[in-house]
Structure 1
Amino acid sequence: MPPPLILLPGLKSDHRVWQPQIDRLGRRCEVIVPVAALDSGSIAGMAAAVLAAAPARFALAGCSMGGYVALEVMRLAPERVERLVLVSTSARPENPATTPLRHAALALARRDGVGAMAAAGLDRDFHHAHRYDLRLAALMVAMAESVGLDAITRQVDAVIARPDARPMLASISCPTAVIVGEQDQVTPPDCSLELAAGITGSTLSMIPDCGHCAPLEAPRRVTEVLQMWMDE
C-alpha cells in the first residue's frame, strides 16, 4: 500500500490546482491537501503546520510555493518523508527584482480584488497555448478568491522572505522527482536543473509547451511522473 500522499498547492491556489492528480492517484492511496496549513507569514510556519497535521510517514509533492514548503519540511523532518516531488519550483531565495512585482500585484488585489490579481498573472502562469483557455482562467480566479486577500498577503510575505534551500539539497536522500514546464516564466527550467543536480539520484522531467502551472497545463504527464515515482 503506498504511503499517504500530501500535495501542497502554490501561491493563491487550493486543492483544485492538483485536481487531475487527485482524481487518479486518489484511487491508489490517501491524498491530503492541507490548504489551511499554507496560511502563514513564513515558509517555516507553513512547514510546521503541514507536519503537525500529517501522518507519521508520507509522500510529499509541492508545486511552486508548495515546493518551497516541501523543501522546508525536508529540512525539519526528513525521516518522515518517504518520497518527494518538486514541481515548478526552486531552492533559491527571492530575487530582489521580483519583490516589487509581488507588491504591485497585491496593490491590484486590494484595489480591484484578488480575482483581478489572478487574471493579471495569467500571462506569466501559463504557456501561450493555454493562456486563453477560459476554463483554466476561471479556475485560477476562483482559487484566488477562495484563498482570499488576507491569506494571499501572508503567503506573499512568506515567499519574499523564504530561505535559500540550496545548501540542504545534498542531504535529501529519499526518491525525488523534479518536474518543470519548458516555458515556465516564474521558476524557469534552470531552477529545476539546479534542484535535480543538487539532489543525488533525482529524476528531472521537462514538459514541452507548458508554463508554470504544470499540474493543470499538462495533467496527464504530471500524473504519469507521479505514478512512476510512487511505484519506484
Structure 2
Amino acid sequence: MIPVVLAPGLLCDDRLWSAVTPLLAGPVVTVDFAEDDTIEAMADRILTEGPERFVLAGFSMGGMAAMVAAARAPGRIAGLALIDTHAEPETPDRSERRARQIATADAGGFARLVREELKPVYFAEPEVHEAERRLVSDMALEAGARQFRRHVQALMIRPDPTSLLPLLTMPVTVVTGEADGLAPPDAARRLAAAVPDGRLVLVPDCGHMAPLEAPAVVAAEINALCRQLETA
C-alpha cells in the first residue's frame, strides 16, 4: 500500500493521530512542525521527510502546509486528504484575533487561553470527548507559548492559497466536521470545488478535531484514497 504522511495542526503532535494510525493500511510517517516558523518551512519538511511518492493527510494548519507541498511536488504527492482545514485568505478580523491571542500568551496567560478560548471551540460534543479534550490540552501546554507564537505568526503571514488550488491535480478528499467552527463546511465545500479532482466528506456530530472525534472516518477516507491510487 502507498505510504501515508500525516501533518498535524496548531499545538498538536503525533498524538493527534493516535486513534487513526492503527487503522491505516499502509506505512505511516508523521511529521513534526515544532521548529518551523512559516507554512513554507512546514511544506519543505513534508517533502524532506516524506518518501518518494505518498498520500499526504494534513490537519488544520498542517492542511495548509500540505497544499503548499502538493503544489510544489505534484509528482510525489499522489493524493491529498485535507482534514478540518480551509483555503480562505487571512482576514483583518482573524489577524486581529490572532494578535490578541499572542499578546495573551506572551503575558503569561497561555494556559488560560488554551482552557477558556481554544479548547471550547474544538469539539462538537465536549462532554462526550473528555479524554480527547485532555489530550488536546496536554499537547497544547507541552508545545507552549513560544511555539504558539511561531505558528500563529506563520498563519498570519501565510500566502494566499487561492492560486495554488488549480495546481492540486491529484485526487483530493476534503474532510470536515459538520459542526466545525474553525474550518466550517461552507469553506470545505469551496475548497473541494476549487481543486480539479475534489471530493467532500462532511462528518456528522463532529467539530474541528475529526482525527480525535471521528478517527474511523478519517482513517477510512485515507485508506480509500490509497486504494483508489493503487488501482489507478
Distance 1:110 1:58 in 2: 38
Q: How does 1:46-57 map to 2 (within 5 A)?
A: 46-57=42-53
Q: Secondary structure at the match of 1:211?
A: coil
C-alpha distance in structure 2 between counterparts of 1:182 and 1:200, whole Å: 23
TM-score by length of 1: 0.91
Task: Give the Å deviation of 1:132.
Answer: 6.3
Q: How far 1:104 sits from its partner (Å)?
A: 2.7
Per the alignment, do residues 92 and 131 of structure 1 end up closer, same or farther by CA in structure 2, a change over 3 Å counting? Answer: farther
8 Å CA contact 1:184–1:210 kept in 2: the answer is yes
Question: Superposition pairs for residues 86-105 of structure 1, below 5 Å?
Answer: 86-105=82-101
Partner of 1:31: 28
- Provide the residue aligned with 1:19 in structure 2: 18
Query: Cα gap change, 1:38/1:69 in structure 2, threshold over 3 Å: closer, same or farther?
Result: farther
Please name the residue that 2:68 is paired with. 72
Stretches of structure 2 that go unaligned for 5 or more consecutive residues are none
Over residues 65-117 of structure 1, what are the superposed CA-to-partner deviations in whole Å (9 max), with x where a residue is unaligned? 00100011012211110111001111122122112222232333334454433
Give the partner amino acid of 2:11: K
Q: Structure 2-normalised TM-score?
A: 0.91
Q: Which consecutive unaligned segments of at least 5 residues does structure 1 have?
A: none
The Cα of 1:118 is off from its aligned counterpart by: 2.2
Deviation at 1:217, TM superposition (A): 1.2
Cα deviation per residue 1:26-62 (whole Å; 9 max; x = unaligned)? xx32211111x45322111111122122212111000
Q: Distance in 1 between matches of 2:216 and 2:135?
A: 18
2:123 counterpart of 1:126: yes
- Report the Cα distance in structure 1 between the residues aligned to 2:58 and 2:148, rounded to whole angstroms: 17
1:229 aligned residue: 225
SS across alignment from 2:174: strand
User: Matched residue of 1:20: which SS?
Assistant: coil
**Which whole-Å CA distance do the structure 2 matches of 1:29 and 1:224 have between them?**
12
Q: Which residue of 212, 215, 231 corresponds with 1:216?
A: 212
The residue type paired with residue 203 of structure 1 is R
1:178, distance to aligned residue in structure 2 (A): 0.6
SS of the residue corresponding to residue 92 of structure 2 reads coil
